[in-house]
Amino acid sequence: LNADPKNIYYLVAAVEELVEDQDFAAAGAFAAKLLADHPGEFRAVATAARLECKAGRPAAGLALAEKYAQAADPGAGDHLTRSG
């Protein structure tokens, strides 16, 4: 993570590991960086939304997912538009 702090795979792994440990505050910091560095990336949004749900904030998780869905571009093959 120190060698490549914007690497989406490292950031997702950090969030998931911290969520597993129920360290939601630290996971939130990584999720914020993930969304800042990869704002339109499905994996970033999904990871942040799962964090919100696991932290007991399902409405915040749903809001993230809905925001992604509203911004999805069918011409670009965005995830939610591909799945119908």
Q: Mean pLDDT, 10 residues at a time, over the chain (84 residues)?
A: 90 97 98 94 93 97 87 62 47
53-59: which pairs have CB atoms within 8 A and are 24 or more residues apart?
54/19, 54/24, 55/19, 55/24, 55/27, 55/28
Q: How far apart are CA 6 and CA 43, in angstroms?
A: 14
pLDDT of residue 80: 52
pLDDT of residue 37: 96
The model's pTM is 0.82
pLDDT of residue 72: 67
pLDDT of residue 40: 83
Closest to 50 (Cα-Cα) out of 69, 40, 35, 65: 65
Tokens 């560095």 — which residue? 37
